[in-house]
Amino acid sequence: MSTIENFLEYISLEKNYSSNTLIAYKNDLNSFSNFCLDDFNIKNIETVKYSEIRLWIVYLINQGKSNRSVNRKLSALRSFYKFLEKTSNIKTSPLASHRPLKIEKKIQMPFSEDEVFKVLNADFFSNNFKGLLERTLIYTLYFTGARRNEIIQMKYNSVDVNEQILKVLGKRNKERLIPIHDKLKTQLEIYLNERQKINNSNSETFFCFENGNKLTPEFVYQTVNFYFNKVSSKDKKSPHMLRHSFATHMLNQGADLNAVKGLLGHSSVAATESYTHTSMKKIKSIYSKSHPRGSNKSG
């Protein structure tokens, strides 16, 4: 077994990294390995120096990769070399003194509440199982704030409509419980009633196609993108934007930051705080319109 394979097995079994992360890390490590072989005839990336890594960074940037994308690839390398340090294959990581490339912070504005409810209440969903599935997906993404993959992997027995509790398995296999909103409960009941009628209703996953197959990430993305294109002019229309909207709308309504952190499954409050930037925009807007000394007040 190669060192890369040993590393991938380690982060899978010991660190509980997701399958998506495993695939990304494998691709990044193989890409770097091929670069070292083609450009420097280095057959073993355990022996590389930072100078070779720096040239790979230049190569990636010249290929049009963003700083964010390059940093993600370097994260795979950094984890790999930390593993080699841990297993005594190398003394010091060649990335020990490397600092991530600077990323210009671009705040993504969430969907407005009006945009979300235009989709939730729209009549442009097909009057068949696929249309019902798509509508219920959007309801669930928005009212739970769950990640796309968490929704896809959700088991049939993870949803207790009567108790109004939904269970998802997050990053590193951490389980969390999310309350089911009354509006979501009604939609889930409609979906479950129809789901029981399809031929392959024994599918283990809660959400499935009419043939019983599990949903794909592409289908979930395309569903959100297609329907929000009808009501929103925002550049980004993705499942994550519904998660972003869920958090921002909760904070706008005065929800406790730590409570929202728990619902989102964030490991630290710092990740949740990124959503306070957009909720602050609304607070400032209300302030300027309402405060007697606000900028929009005359006199």
Question: What is the DSSP code string of 237-253?
Answer: -SHHHHHHHHHHHHHHT
Q: Which of 240, 281, 282, 287 is catalytic?
A: 240
Q: By C-alpha distance, which of 87, 63, 60 is closest to 71? A: 60
As its CATH architecture, domain 3-86 has Orthogonal Bundle (1.10)
Amino acid, single-letter form, for residue 269: V
Q: Which of 73, 78, 147, 185 is catalytic?
A: 147
What are the φ/ψ torsions at residue 168 (nearest 5 degrees)? -125, 155
Task: Report residue 284 as tokens.
Answer: 């400032």
Q: Where in the chain is the domain with CATH 1.10.150.130?
A: 3-86
Q: Is 284 a catalytic residue?
A: no
pTM above 0.85, yes or no: no
Q: Which of 35-44, 57-66, 260-269, 288-297 is predicted least confidently?
A: 288-297
Q: Collect all residues with Cβ–Cβ distance below 8 Å to 143 and sequence separation of at least 6.
A: 180, 181, 183, 184, 246
Say yes or no to pLDDT of 286 above 50.
no
Amino acid, single-letter form, for residue 153: Q
Mean model confidence pLDDT for the chain: 88
Q: Which helix (H) or strand (E) holds 219?
A: helix 217-228
Say yes or no to pLDDT of 105 above 90.
no
Q: Is 240 a catalytic residue?
A: yes
pLDDT on residue 299: 44
Q: How far apart are CA 7 and CA 81, in angstroms?
A: 9
pLDDT on residue 36: 95
- Calculate mean pLDDT across residues 107-113: 85
Q: What percent of the chain has pLDDT over 70?
A: 89
Q: Is 277 a catalytic residue?
A: no
In CATH, what class is 113-288? mainly alpha
pLDDT in tens, 76-101: 999 999 999 998 889 999 999 999 88
pLDDT on residue 251: 87
Q: Is 135 a catalytic residue?
A: no
Q: Is 227 a catalytic residue?
A: no
Q: Where in the chain is the domain with CATH 1.10.443.10?
A: 113-288
- Calculate mean pLDDT across residues 180-198: 93
Say yes or no to pLDDT of 40 above 70.
yes
pLDDT on residue 89: 84
pLDDT in tens, 193-232: 999 887 665 678 999 999 889 999 999 999 999 999 999 9
Q: Which of 171, 181, 236, 282 is catalytic?
A: 171
pLDDT on residue 45: 92
Q: Which of 135, 195, 244, 266 is catalytic?
A: 266
- Residue 168 in contact with residue 178, Cβ under 8 Å? yes
pLDDT on residue 102: 86
pLDDT on residue 256: 87
pLDDT on residue 252: 84
